[in-house]
Structure 1
Amino acid sequence: MEHSVLSDIGAVWDYIVVGAGSAGAVLGRRLAEDTDARVLVLESGPTDEHVREISDPAAWAGLATSRYDYRYVYAPARHAMGQSIPIPRGRVVGGCSSTNAMLWYRGHPSDYDAWEQAGATGWNFRSVLPYFRRAEDWEGGATALRGTGGPLRITRSPDPHPIARALLAAAAECGFPVLEDGNGPDNEGASLANLNIADGERWSTSRGYLRPAMAWPNLTLLTDVQVTSLVVENGACTGVRVASGSTTRVLSATREVVLAAGAIDTPRLLLLSGIGPAAELERLGLPVRVDLPGVGMNLQDHPLLKGMNFVARAPLGPIHDQGGGAMMNWKSDPALQAPDLHAFIVQRPHASPELRARYDIPDDSFAISPGLMGSKSRGYMRLLEARHDGAVEIQPEFLAEPSDLRALASAVETVFDLAESAAFRDLVLRPASPARRLDRAGREAFVRESLSTFFHVCGTCSMGTDEMSVVDPTLRVRGVDGLRIADASVIPVIPTCNTLAPVVMVAERAADMMKEGT
């Protein structure tokens, strides 16, 4: 059942899920499935149903700063010319899976072995692979690494744009492997993109998980409602305080509350409830219920160059798929265990308004945009006001680690190699931004001025076993009974991929843990 009126629902539930986004939609479905448990999913945004901009893959870029976005912005980048970089976050049922670029990647197996090494015991690749596979309905059929029959449709383009085809040919010409599947045995090389698109429409966690379960009597979705704090009594979370317009209520959970509000709003909610670094809570005038110094720390994201643009020789034609269609992973250093650099094609100009003006990038341009998936820099988020709708400071500290700057600067050279290959000869008239190859200092300057983000923010309630960990390896919040977190905030080390697939995996496993009582 779906409601948008707070007074319409009961006061007591077995499970309360805060957030109906990429993780929350998964949790709602799985916690209600094959059980009589009463499950309530709370979403601050509106429904995603019958919204053309959401269902149409080619329209996704316009969702940023729309009514379906939280409109968060990173604090000025200290190492990137003081830029304030937007970080789109979906404020709608399905969350970022309803507003993102529809890319499905799990990264390299070593990413999850790194989680275990960081203290997330039992979260190595072998242990998490079944949850990736369970989520998938992969067009290529089931293998040891891929799943079929799951809620999320995953396809490749049936008609790749010529630029996407050119990237594969250029990669081969430059000595990189061309992969049948970027989620196959190895992810180093170029491939057509794995897309959450089916029958020409976006396939979000809302569409795949939540919508098919909305007729179940034990699952309720409440939209347009704000959770303002957790109810914490005698060391246990017993429910949530919610508001909708002038109506406020306390809703209780007899089993557990699970936070799936994302890497910004989950730590915000903990802090507003008195759970976090004692000094921060005292600064805000909030009670210190549990001193957890890691709340809001360890923020990670993937930096992206927006972008390396090339003027096309001829009109590019209509957009195919979601405006991309092909990607490539490679190593900035051959000694690395796994690829740390990534590039994807954009079938239109890909640059900030400032860069478009500075470089005079015409409309008949396209981009090969590189980014750093193996970023090392760490940042933080903190509250500036002790209100659920108050200001926050979100600082990723992009390029704070010199190795991140060096890797991105090297990616600029690789993209020029690709664009100057025979595969792109009939497509590229000339480079636009930058307008020519650069020396090392020039490349580093270009990185700083064109820096943006994949908006893969994560890590702010990290999983582990040390004093900076917010949740333990069962995703329970340390020091609070009856409360778990299952979203991007628990990721201890950012994986070398788009973060939707890892978040869905975390939610799938969290639901099993909650139902099993582990």
Structure 2
Amino acid sequence: MMVDVIVVGGGSAGCVAAAAFAKAGASVLILEAGHAFALSAPTGSWPSELTDARRMPIGPGSRYIDPITAHTTRNHHFVTTRGRVLGGSGAVNGGYFVRAPLSDFDSWPQDRWDRATVARHYAGIENDLDFGARDHHGSDGPVPVTRAVTAPLPQAFLRAAVASGYEYVEDLNAPDARDGIGAVPSNVVHGRRISMAQAYLRPVADTVSVRGRSRVARLIVRDERVVGVTGRDDHGDFTAYADRVVLAAGAVRTPNLLMHSGIGDAAQLRQIGLPTVQHLPGVGLGVADHPEIVVTYQPVTGPSAPDAGTPLQAVLEIGPLEIRPYTSSFDRMIPGLPPMLPTVGVAHMTPEARGVVTVVSDDPFSAPAVDHDYAATEADREALRTGVRVAMDILSSPMLAAAVAEVFPPEMSRAEMSLGGSLHTMGSARMGADDDPLAVLDSVGRVRGMAGLSVVDASMFPSPVSRGPHATVVMAAHRACAAQIAEI
């Protein structure tokens, strides 16, 4: 098979990339490791667990996830659950679609990612159904954005936070949004999660081919040019060729694929027995996430069923912290989990800690090792302690007495701190300047030293963003593909 563009990964970034190249006149093939669905079929015929915004199908036994064990601290690990289905993590997550502050991009290459350009591309991807008429928002982009705080706990938490002196923020996606509490912008309409497969691929269904359950093993390289991929599907091994290959397999699987294709640190590749095609020592380094610890509480009347809305309807932003009053207990939102008490999450959105993704086997289908050390620095630990105190103070407010019977503080010593991640992996194959020895990509996502190959997912982030990355992944893929297409 020969096409103009192969997109490896049908998640949010992959859907954006496929649509962009298809609209530019290219023949496009998406190779998605998970299940795919007919793009021409009505969205109502898609599995309800992928569209019901009250549920996140990421629990044990889900057929829509890629579970990989990640070490979070010296003594703890957790299973990261990335979406493995057409639409990717954006098809199974909570619908959070919050923009990063424009100041986050000051450390990105300014020839392509200055504040004005980033703001323009954020607006270009959205159809904001609340504020679309405002100058800094969009009203004709593919992604619908709404806000609603309708569930009892987040409503009460919002009121208590405001009573405690925190500012109410009308629009968390405004470019000048300040710290405070507000409704979470979500890619949810009438209780339905709108994945990027629905938003971006359905309009180009006639010009994009999608092959599900197709795992890519390696890139085919000839004379420092990528000309195709090899992989395996339900029928056996396959080979596909293209003029251009775009990687959008996510910030764990993309560096894994690069390294298994001989693109990475030469010394590390030799240890695994992999040949080196291009020495790029930054592949897999600088991995960031938003470490999260939870404050558990006993509700007065027992956990309530989720409201017809998103699992996270309001957040409190305080400097480096995001306080997350979840709509209900996670067992009510994630099928397959045992009964548990509801929680408020405390996430550190600007951590110092950085992790690494490494290959551990010459088997290209094996999972890589993911190592974080979330509690490595005292600054990170103190930020989380501060966030826990804020969450406990609000939960203990008289305004929440009718809902919260007792609050249980988490263990906060470094040795016992039980941290999870926010599933916001970023920066594992980052963009950077020509003189940056650890930059894997140029300023529009092209892999250094390799013609015909680019990366458009969260791997490319030069520095982590201080909000959940979904909206930024879509914006960055939109921006990177526009620049790549303009230079073809």
Q: TM-score, normalised by structure 2?
A: 0.92
The answer to whether residue 272 in structure 2 is matched with residue 278 in structure 1 is no
Displacement of 1:246:
4.7
Amino acid at match of 2:219: L
From the superposition, tell whether residues 31 and 472 of structure 1 become closer, same or farther in structure 2 (CA, over 3 Å).
Answer: same
Query: Which whole-Å deviations, capped at 9, do the CAs of 1:445-465 have from their partners, x for residues lacking one?
Result: 6x9433111110111101102
SS in 1 for 2:54: helix
The answer to whether residue 204 in structure 2 is matched with residue 213 in structure 1 is yes
Displacement of 1:350:
5.1
SS in 1 for 2:104: helix
**Quick one: distance in 1 between partners of 2:26 and 2:295?**
51
Query: Which whole-Å deviations, capped at 9, do the CAs of 1:258-313 have from their partners, x for residues lacking one?
Result: 101111111111111111000011111111110000011111110011x2122122
Amino acid at match of 2:68: Y
Q: 1:319 aligns with which of 306, 311, 317?
A: 306
Q: Given that residues 311 and 362 in structure 1 are in contact (C-alpha distance below 8 angstroms), is that contact kept between their aligned partners in structure 2?
A: no
The answer to whether residue 391 in structure 2 is matched with residue 401 in structure 1 is no
1:340-359 correspondence runs (5 A): 340-349=320-329
Amino acid at match of 1:453: G
Displacement of 1:315:
4.4
- Aligned counterpart, 2:42: none
The answer to whether residue 204 in structure 2 is matched with residue 228 in structure 1 is no
Displacement of 1:69:
0.7
SS in 2 for 1:44: coil
- Aligned counterpart, 1:131: 121
Q: 2:295 aligns with which of 302, 308, 315?
A: 308
Displacement of 1:370:
1.0
- Aligned counterpart, 1:354: none
The answer to whether residue 65 in structure 2 is matched with residue 66 in structure 1 is no
1:158-173 correspondence runs (5 A): 160-173=150-163
**Quick one: distance in 2 between partners of 1:380 and 1:391?**
13
**Quick one: distance in 2 between partners of 1:39 and 1:27?**
9
Displacement of 1:71:
0.8
1:250-399 correspondence runs (5 A): 250-254=239-243, 256-305=244-293, 307-320=294-307, 321-330=309-318, 339-349=319-329, 365-399=341-375
Q: Given that residues 406 and 444 in structure 1 are in contact (C-alpha distance below 8 angstroms), is that contact kept between their aligned partners in structure 2?
A: no
**Quick one: distance in 1 between partners of 2:344 and 2:53?**
19
**Quick one: distance in 1 between partners of 2:351 and 2:125?**
27
From the superposition, tell whether residues 383 and 67 of structure 1 become closer, same or farther in structure 2 (CA, over 3 Å).
Answer: same
Amino acid at match of 1:458: M
Displacement of 1:64:
5.9
- Aligned counterpart, 2:233: 244
**Quick one: distance in 2 between partners of 1:391 and 1:153?**
34
**Quick one: distance in 1 between partners of 2:72 and 2:61?**
18
Q: 2:94 aligns with which of 79, 101, 123?
A: 101
Q: Given that residues 53 and 63 in structure 1 are in contact (C-alpha distance below 8 angstroms), is that contact kept between their aligned partners in structure 2?
A: no
Displacement of 1:362:
8.1
SS in 2 for 1:462: coil
Q: Given that residues 294 and 467 in structure 1 are in contact (C-alpha distance below 8 angstroms), is that contact kept between their aligned partners in structure 2?
A: yes
**Quick one: distance in 1 between partners of 2:95 and 2:339?**
26
Q: Given that residues 446 and 454 in structure 2 are in contact (C-alpha distance below 8 angstroms), is that contact kept between their aligned partners in structure 1?
A: yes
Query: Which whole-Å deviations, capped at 9, do the CAs of 1:103-146 have from their partners, x for residues lacking one?
Result: 00112111111224xxx643132221111111111111232322
Q: Given that residues 303 and 329 in structure 2 are in contact (C-alpha distance below 8 angstroms), is that contact kept between their aligned partners in structure 1?
A: no
Deviates more, 1:493-502 or 1:54-63: 54-63
- Aligned counterpart, 1:204: 195
**Quick one: distance in 2 between partners of 1:499 and 1:448?**
28
Displacement of 1:317:
3.6
Q: Given that residues 309 and 350 in structure 1 are in contact (C-alpha distance below 8 angstroms), is that contact kept between their aligned partners in structure 2?
A: no
- Aligned counterpart, 2:46: 50
- Aligned counterpart, 2:397: 421
Amino acid at match of 1:482: G
Q: Given that residues 64 and 71 in structure 1 are in contact (C-alpha distance below 8 angstroms), is that contact kept between their aligned partners in structure 2?
A: no
Q: Given that residues 396 and 407 in structure 2 are in contact (C-alpha distance below 8 angstroms), is that contact kept between their aligned partners in structure 1?
A: no
Unmatched 5+ stretches in structure 2: 38-44, 332-337
SS in 2 for 1:457: coil
Measured on the aligned residues, the alpha-carbon RMSD in Å equals 2.0
Q: 1:151 aligns with which of 124, 135, 142?
A: 142
Unmatched 5+ stretches in structure 1: 1-10, 331-338, 352-360, 435-441
Amino acid at match of 2:251: A
From the superposition, tell whether residues 491 and 317 of structure 1 become closer, same or farther in structure 2 (CA, over 3 Å).
Answer: same
Query: Which whole-Å deviations, capped at 9, do the CAs of 1:310-345 have from their partners, x for residues lacking one?
Result: 212234543111233111100xxxxxxxx2100111
Q: Given that residues 250 and 459 in structure 2 are in contact (C-alpha distance below 8 angstroms), is that contact kept between their aligned partners in structure 1?
A: yes
**Quick one: distance in 2 between partners of 1:114 and 1:147?**
25
**Quick one: distance in 2 between partners of 1:121 and 1:293?**
24
- Aligned counterpart, 2:419: 451
The answer to whether residue 478 in structure 2 is matched with residue 498 in structure 1 is no
List structure 1 segments (4+ residues) > 4 angstroms apart after TM superposition: 61-65
**Quick one: distance in 2 between partners of 1:107 and 1:448?**
31
The answer to whether residue 386 in structure 2 is matched with residue 410 in structure 1 is yes
What percent of counterpart residues are identical?
Answer: 30
From the superposition, tell whether residues 183 and 481 of structure 1 become closer, same or farther in structure 2 (CA, over 3 Å).
Answer: same
**Quick one: distance in 1 between partners of 2:412 and 2:408?**
14
Q: Given that residues 90 and 96 in structure 1 are in contact (C-alpha distance below 8 angstroms), is that contact kept between their aligned partners in structure 2?
A: yes
SS in 2 for 1:258: strand
- Aligned counterpart, 2:429: 461
Q: TM-score, normalised by structure 1?
A: 0.87
**Quick one: distance in 2 between partners of 1:122 and 1:36?**
24
**Quick one: distance in 2 between partners of 1:304 and 1:64?**
20
Amino acid at match of 1:480: M
The answer to whether residue 14 in structure 2 is matched with residue 24 in structure 1 is yes
Displacement of 1:179:
0.7
Amino acid at match of 1:464: G
Deviates more, 1:308-317 or 1:281-290: 308-317
**Quick one: distance in 1 between partners of 2:249 and 2:368?**
15
SS in 1 for 2:286: strand
SS in 2 for 1:60: coil
Deviates more, 1:477-486 or 1:170-179: 170-179
SS in 1 for 2:268: helix
**Quick one: distance in 2 between partners of 1:40 and 1:275?**
23
Q: Given that residues 72 and 372 in structure 2 are in contact (C-alpha distance below 8 angstroms), is that contact kept between their aligned partners in structure 1?
A: no
SS in 2 for 1:241: strand
Q: Given that residues 44 and 223 in structure 1 are in contact (C-alpha distance below 8 angstroms), is that contact kept between their aligned partners in structure 2?
A: yes
Query: Which whole-Å deviations, capped at 9, do the CAs of 1:54-106 have from their partners, x for residues lacking one?
Result: 1111121544651111111103621xxx1111111000000000111110011
Q: 2:183 aligns with which of 192, 206, 231?
A: 192
**Quick one: distance in 2 between partners of 1:135 and 1:239?**
29
Deviates more, 1:316-325 or 1:224-233: 316-325
Q: Given that residues 66 and 84 in structure 2 are in contact (C-alpha distance below 8 angstroms), is that contact kept between their aligned partners in structure 1?
A: yes
Amino acid at match of 1:14: D
Amino acid at match of 1:58: R
**Quick one: distance in 2 between partners of 1:238 and 1:394?**
29
**Quick one: distance in 2 between partners of 1:14 and 1:235?**
18
- Aligned counterpart, 2:40: none
SS in 2 for 1:308: strand
**Quick one: distance in 2 between partners of 1:25 and 1:165?**
34
**Quick one: distance in 1 between partners of 2:315 and 2:61?**
26
